[in-house]
Structure 1
Amino acid sequence: MNDLLFYLTILALLYYFFYYQPSHKKLNTTNPPLTKPLTHSQFTQTEPFQIDNPELAELKIKNQTLETKLETNQQVYQSKINEQQTHITNLQGQLRELVTRPLKPTNSKTTQTDSATDLTKTLDTLIKDIQALNNEL
């Protein structure tokens, strides 16, 4: 009984590999299938890449000019930022000096009010300068 089962499985495998396997079936070219025919090609072929392409050379030149413009713009903006930072530190130093400078008491109120108005004017100008710098940044 075991030998019979063994021989049947061998025969089934031989039948499958040598006769039934779908890759060995031939296509029926006389009767086309009932599906719609293709209206476009399934494969596309691209043009080979040309190294001496004039469009590529033009794009490289544009890229180089844009890179140089970018570098110069970065340098200009970095110098402006550095100038504004030094200006801000100078203004902050002046502001500290104004805050730490004690008011000398005087007998006349006009000199006190004059110095107070001077302080307010300088503070106003400092605030306007800082706002202008912030707007530029």
Structure 2
Amino acid sequence: MKYVLFPYDYRPYEEHLPEFVDRLPEGARRFATDPDHYDFSAARCVKDLLVDRINYFDDYQTVDVEIGFRFEPRPGPYPPALVIRYTDARTFSIDVGERQPAGVRLGDLALDEILPHEHGISHELAFHAGTILVTAKDLSATWDDSVF
């Protein structure tokens, strides 16, 4: 991460975001500037998400990667799930750390950081026990209130 300080200090990223936000493609810009993105009290904050699934789509021209996230089940209304689809992915890597007590390999998402990249964007997602790094042309982030 260039600006985000692990595990929960997103403020340096938000301070620098105006310097490069215009260089982010539309989908990444919309997701990075969403007011709920880093609002820990918001239902659509990325903090504490768990990876639910990872899919890739290869049409022999480009590869798209899709990551589905969910929150840990809890009492009350089911919180929204998040699906991020990366278009024309160039790199996709997972660095998995030690197994968490609940048995989830990556653990909960602490924070993420989206930056401009020569191909479009880089998106680093820092979990409590690992990281995912994607470079792609752009991303689309969709919150879904229904269960996968």
Instruction: Give the structure with the larger helix fraction.
Output: 1
Q: Same fold (TM over 0.5)?
A: no
Q: TM-score, normalised by structure 1?
A: 0.20
Q: TM-score, normalised by structure 2?
A: 0.19
Instruction: Give the structure with the larger strand fraction.
Output: 2
Q: State the structure with bigger RCO (CA 8 A, min sep 6), 1 or 2.
A: 2
